[in-house]
Structure 1
Amino acid sequence: MKATIWHNPGCGTSRNTLAMLQEAGVEVTIVPYLKAPPSAEKLAQLYRDAGITPQQGLRLRGTDAEARGLLAADDATVLAAMVAMPKLIERPLVETDKGVRLCRPKEKVLEIL
């Protein structure tokens, strides 16, 4: 099985999710999204496939997302903000042939393995 993880090595949940994938023998592509953010189109596809809205994919802790009004903003505005400031993307996002999950908690990754 193959998976792609949008990963932040500074995040414990992201590191633990990556470790779970590796321990399961998954061939993992690691995307350091803070340095190489996905496009708005890719983010929209990931959230759609995960069954969540871009607002549900916003990282609130340690960001100014709420102060910027992003919780009530339309999808295009939220996605544009995430591309411009990737720290607004909640992590980790994992994509496999079985789907996409925002892996909070990390055990959510098991749903797509």
Structure 2
Amino acid sequence: MTVTIYHNPECGTSRNTLAMIRQSGVEPRVVEYLKNPPSRERIVELVSAAGMALRQALRQKDTPYEALGLGDTSLTDDALLDAIGQHPVLLNRPFVETPVGTRLCRPSEVVLDILENPDIGPFTKEDGEVIIDAEGKRIV
């Protein structure tokens, strides 16, 4: 199994996650999910493999979440999937699949838990937050 990241290049969290994957020595399969949205079935598989409920995988910030009334907890998963199908930006990112597991990598350092080689050496996020220091100690 290869490593796959459902990626939005405009998202700092997604860029940081991708950088950590690459720093681990892996060139992942990158799916720009806003250009190539996963199918309903694939979304269900990702969310389930990550051990989440579909509602937990919804992104609220900078999306039509409020305008579509998705805060209504009586909505079914089918209704949520319909909304994601029409507005892929509603699917939170980045989801990452590796041979070790599948996670929604928010915050980005969650990816370290599912990399086969999590000893990636020093790593600082784009915003300057140190994740792994010069001695290889995980800060977060």
Shorter-chain TM-score range: over 0.9
Q: For structure 2, list consecutive stretches of 5 or more residues without a partner in the other structure.
A: 116-140
- Match of 2:63, SS state, is coil
Residue in structure 1 matched with residue 132 of structure 2 by the alignment: none
TM-score normalised by length of structure 1: 0.93
State the distance in 2 between where 1:24 and 1:16 align: 12
State the distance in 1 between where 2:50 and 2:76 align: 18
Q: For structure 1, list consecutive stretches of 5 or more residues without a partner in the other structure.
A: none
Query: Deviations 1:37-63 (Å, cap 9, x if unpaired)?
Result: 000100000000001111101110011
More strand by share: 1
What value does the CA root-mean-square deviation take over the aligned residues? 1.3
Q: CA shift at 1:67, angstroms?
A: 3.6
The total of aligned residue pairs comes to 113
- Match of 1:110, SS state, is helix
Larger displacement relative to structure 2 (40-49 or 93-102): 93-102
Q: CA shift at 1:111, angstroms?
A: 1.4
Q: Which has the larger radius of gyration?
A: 2
Aligned ranges 1:52-67 → 2 under 5 Å: 52-67=52-67
Q: Give identity over the alignment, percent.
A: 52
State the distance in 2 between where 1:2 and 1:51 align: 20
Q: Which has the higher relative contact order, 1 or 2, with Cα contacts under 8 A spaced 6 or more apart?
A: 1
Moved over 4 A (4+): none
Residue in structure 1 matched with residue 95 of structure 2 by the alignment: 93
